[in-house]
Amino acid sequence: MNNVLAADIGGTNLRLAIIDPQGHILDESRMQAELSLHSAESHIQAEAHIITTLSDGIAAFLAQSSYSANSIGMGFPGFFHGETGVLAASPNLPLLHNFPLAELLSNSIEKPVAVQNDALCAAIGEHRFGAGKGQSSLLHITLGTGVGGGLILNHKPYGGEHGMAMEFGHLCVEQSIQNNNGRLCGCGNHDCLETYASASAVVQRYAEKTGKASNARDIFQLACDGDAIATSILTDAGDYLGKAIAESIKLMDISTVTISGGLSGAWPIIHPSLMETLDANLIPPLKGKVHVLRSTLADNAGLLGAAAIASNS
Ligand SMILES: [Zn+2]
């Protein structure tokens, strides 16, 4: 078993690490990298820009690191065809369709590359190394700019037929689909979970109610200090999460859910309201039997999942 290079790709940043087979991060780098090329007029330009950006970042990191790695695993924000590393589509990179990301990147840096959806990578990391370790099945939820979901079913990652399973943030949690007066989501629908329980939704709702700009961390602190508006917005986030988890459990009957991401920092407020709503909405035989755990991997779940999918031969 060798060390691998893990990459966690965001819209504007690139996080790289050398990770050993036990899941220890030996070396790490974070860099700014804009993946979307706003001037791109064709998918060919957009694809070339992504390959160049990722290859250059990886080469620069390996050149300065005292560790080496023979293979690469990557979490990427988009939908993938199974384990092929072919990107079916990415909401933030609309020019790309059926883009063989893993193959082209592998050709460029001359090392084997495996790529998977970023939220599914976080689920794999949490299952292999974190709060979900030892469970046969796991639903992992990421609460960041958006709300993501990844599913491990009978010890195996489940991405769905088109790589689009577990779009947990886009479960409708409030109004009927006929009513377009709810909160508009980036996906075009209204009242998706993401419009209440993401860090950006909490920030937006606080600004709407108070006229003040803040960030999720400060809103949590305000709630701890007794601010009623901050408390109600975070309690709402927990309620809606509990409702969405309850609906998911009705379909999947799994007993362990883990949560990571920036908004999980508000755990002391979110978790109690989440559990109350979850138990109120579960079917009776399952009440009290679903465990919702905070990630034990800080913000490393995605990175460790990326390491887990890297080829290790
Ligand atoms: Zn949505």
State whether 255 and 118 are in the same domain: no
- With respect to residue 127, please indicate whether it lies within any of the assigned structural domains: no
User: 18 CA to middle of ligand 1, Å?
Assistant: 34
Return all residues near 260 (Cβ < 8 A) that are at least 6 apart: 122, 126, 140, 141, 142, 143, 294, 295, 297, 298, 299, 301
Average pLDDT over all residues of the chain? 93
Q: What is the mean pLDDT of residues 220-245?
A: 97
User: 238 CA to middle of ligand 1, Å?
Assistant: 18
**Distance of alpha carbon 225 from alpha carbon 142, whole angstroms:** 26
State whether 108 and 163 are in the same domain: no
State whether 148 and 47 are in the same domain: no
User: 167 CA to middle of ligand 1, Å?
Assistant: 9
User: 25 CA to middle of ligand 1, Å?
Assistant: 34
User: 168 CA to middle of ligand 1, Å?
Assistant: 9
- With respect to residue 129, please indicate whether it lies within any of the assigned structural domains: no
User: 261 CA to middle of ligand 1, Å?
Assistant: 18
Please report, as a single letter, which amino acid is at residue 95.
L
- With respect to residue 96, please indicate whether it lies within any of the assigned structural domains: yes
Question: Beta partners for 7?
Answer: 16, 74
Residue 312, pLDDT above cutoff 80 = no
State whether 108 and 144 are in the same domain: no
**Distance of alpha carbon 295 from alpha carbon 43, whole angstroms:** 37
State whether 152 and 211 are in the same domain: yes
Q: Structurally, how many domains does the chain consist of?
A: 2
State whether 92 and 181 are in the same domain: no
Q: What is the mean pLDDT of residues 77-83?
A: 92
pLDDT at 179: 58
Neighbours of ion ligand 1 (CB under 5 A): 170, 185, 187, 189, 192
Confidence band for 33, pLDDT divided at 50, 70 and 90: confident
Residue 313, pLDDT above cutoff 60 = no
**Distance of alpha carbon 183 from alpha carbon 192, whole angstroms:** 8
pLDDT tens, position by position, 42-69: 888 989 999 999 999 999 999 999 999 9
State whether 97 and 179 are in the same domain: no
User: 4 CA to middle of ligand 1, Å?
Assistant: 34
User: 172 CA to middle of ligand 1, Å?
Assistant: 8
State whether 77 and 150 are in the same domain: no
**Sheet with 256-260, side-by-side order of all strands:** 156-158, 147-153, 138-143, 256-260, 291-294
- With respect to residue 42, please indicate whether it lies within any of the assigned structural domains: yes
Q: At 188, which CATH number?
A: 3.30.420.40
User: 208 CA to middle of ligand 1, Å?
Assistant: 20
- With respect to residue 128, please indicate whether it lies within any of the assigned structural domains: no
User: 14 CA to middle of ligand 1, Å?
Assistant: 25
**Distance of alpha carbon 101 from alpha carbon 85, whole angstroms:** 6
State whether 19 and 65 are in the same domain: yes
Tokens of 190: 């209204």
pLDDT at 120: 96
Q: Residue 98: which domain range?
A: 4-122+300-309
Within 13 Å, how many C-alpha atoms sit on residue 156's CB side? 6
pLDDT at 28: 97
State whether 139 and 107 are in the same domain: no
**Distance of alpha carbon 5 from alpha carbon 55, whole angstroms:** 12
State whether 42 and 161 are in the same domain: no
Confidence band for 84, pLDDT divided at 50, 70 and 90: very high
